Structure 1
Amino acid sequence: MHATRTPAQAKAWIESQGKTVKEFAEANDLDLHTTYQVLAGTKKGKRGEAHKAAVLLGIKEGTVAQ
């Protein structure tokens, strides 16, 4: 198991790669607004698009159906 990130750590991780949140969302086929909501903590990533975003951001452990 790997350690999960906080939303703030996830945002810093995106920035450390030289990407914007928009670029991350587009590269991972995510809805931009949902990605921002997960990063802000207003969506917890329990299901659907928010779950996918949270897993890809490393905020929660889980799998994403391809």
Structure 2
Amino acid sequence: MDTDKRNWNTNNTNNGTIETIGIQYIGIEIMELEKHSFETVQNQVGKQRDNKLENVKHIMEKQPKL
């Protein structure tokens, strides 16, 4: 009876450990995805800003000099 109990506890611990590692791995993957998404958004915002600045520059060049 004691042997069965000990084996169950060992198996339970092993499963818990594997589960915890799996959850940590998934957490790291999610953090990487969030970081990538944030960087992508930052790049898009940067490109939009650069495009607007270019548009303003072209408009200013077309304006008659005072």
- The alignment's TM-score, normalised by the length of structure 2, stands at 0.17
Structure whose alpha-carbon radius of gyration is higher? 2
- The alignment's TM-score, normalised by the length of structure 1, stands at 0.17
